[in-house]
Amino acid sequence: MTKARIAAVDVGNDALKGIFGKLENELYIPNVIAPDLEDRPVIGIEELDNKDVLDNIHIRVHSPALEENGVIYRVGNLATKTTNSQELDPGSSKSEEDQTLVMLFAALALDSVTNSDFKEKSDVIDANYILGTGLPLREVKEGKDVGYRSQLLGSVHQVEFLVTPKYQGKRVNIKFEEVKVYPEGFAAYVNLIMDNDLKVINKDLIDKQILIQDIGGLSTDIAVIRNRNVDDDKAQGFNLGVSESLEQIREEIRSRHGVELDSRRDVVDIITRNNDRNHIMVKGSRTNVHDITDHILLELAKKEYRYLRNVWSKNSQSEICYFVGGGSAVLKDYIKALNNKLDGFNIEFFEDEQESIWMMANAYYKLILDFVRKTENAVKKEKASEAK
């Protein structure tokens, strides 16, 4: 069997973030898909193979884990350009959506065709992975991680590249040697206290009781960490994220200015970019939409702050709350302002937005690497005892 390759994949509601192998490959793909035809037209003066792969992911996916098997999809940036693009809906469970699996398989297939760990024969690549990934605390508490893991293990999942630069006609057969599904709140804690070599880098936090509020696209998780573990009874998950507010902003911009934004990803870009933040082009004129974004995001921040207040009141000996996730990057200024005006909790954001966005993928990488090392050491000890 082909040697297994490590993959740490965070299928976030806004985007997939993946880290592969020995940190030599990273992928960031907007979490948008669109059903498509096999022979999509290629528009532009460049030859297909000169185009950016990540802007032109066009695949057919076969898997017994999918409800709709053998469907052709545009994925990521390419999907945002269609009228039938799909993003995860508020209230949906990440573990039960075909879209989560399509994104996961697409990322693994892209990694498979770009590394030398797997052999290729007649345009077919057999890829074997040890996967670290995660689900919201709410879904793990409901036991959905068990079903999600079993869907992935024990089956072959095939991705066929169609009209995709460089990889057209290639097929990747994906198998999993092992799958670890971690609760997202605990993963964030691991990332806070350990480096990539699994050495403790933040000793001050090890024995503290801390909160981690992870604001995603569709959900918010607040993990209560005590004695180096998530307190399952105290941890809470809420069906509220930034996606609904991003849709509101998108709709208000459309109705007020007649501008149709391709996806929620475009809204995130408008409200987080360094230059021309909260501005769009309307009929060629630079137009400020801060009045739209401000009142919608402030209302969401107030709801998120109420969650924090309620959880902290039930865990009064908590020393600090860390805000993580893409939603935290969007709401940071609003939550800070509310906290200064109201309770004055000890809260912390990551000033580097990329660190916050990539936190889960980094955590899964550390956790799955730890699992692999422990497994290898156990095998060595067993062989050594057998040799005696």
Map out the domains of the chain as residue ranges: 5-183+361-380, 207-357
Low-confidence ranges of the chain (pLDDT < 70): 1-2, 43-46, 90-91, 351, 388
Q: Which of 293, 284, 309 is nearest to 252 (CA)?
A: 293
Of 145, 194, 196, residue with least CA distance to 23? 196
CATH homologous superfamily for 5-183+361-380? ATPase, nucleotide binding domain (3.30.420.40)
Whether 213 contacts 304, CB under 8 Å: yes
Distances from the Cα of 97 to the Cαs of 66, 117, 298, 352, 378, in angstroms? 8, 30, 30, 31, 36
**Terminal CA-CA length for the chain:** 28
Q: Please tell me the distance from the alpha carbon of residue 212 to that of residue 225, in angstroms, as a whole number.
A: 8
Tell me the two tokens of residue 188: 């964030």
By the 8 A CB rule, do 198 and 96 touch? no
The counts of H helices and E strands in the chain are 12, 18
What is the structure's pLDDT at 132? 96
The tens digit of pLDDT for each residue in 107-117 reads 999 999 998 88
Class of domain 207-357: alpha beta
Closest C-alpha to 212, from 233, 232, 187: 187
User: Would strands 236-238 and 220-226 be described as parallel, antiparallel, or unpaired?
Assistant: antiparallel
C-alpha separations of 8 from 111, 181, 278, 344, 368 in Å = 11, 10, 33, 36, 7
Listed residue (4, 15, 3) closest to 243, CA to CA: 15
Rounded-to-integer distance, Cα 112 and Cα 158, Å: 12
Q: Does pTM top 0.95 for this prediction?
A: no
Quote the crossing angle between the two packed helices 264-272 and 290-314, to the nearest 10°. Answer: 90
How many CB atoms are located within 10 Å of the residue 81 CB? 14
Q: What burial class does residue 260 get, using C-beta atoms within 10 Å of its C-beta: 0-12 exposed, 13-18 middle, 19+ buried?
A: exposed
Element spanning 73, H or E: strand 71-75
pLDDT in tens, 260-313: 887 787 888 888 887 888 898 898 899 999 999 999 999 999 999 999 999 999
What pLDDT sits at residue 140?
86
Distance CA 155, CA 318 (A): 43
Q: Are the C-beta atoms of residues 237 and 219 closer than 8 Å to each other?
A: yes
Cα 334 to Cα 327, 355, 357: the distances in Å are: 12, 19, 18
What's the CA gap between 292 and 36, in Å, rounded? 33
Find out whether 305 and 342 touch, Cβ atoms under 8 Å: yes
Please answer whether residues 179 and 208 qualify as being in contact, where contact means their C-beta atoms are separated by less than 8 angstroms: no
Q: Angle formed by the axes of helices 264-272 and 326-341, to 10°?
A: 50
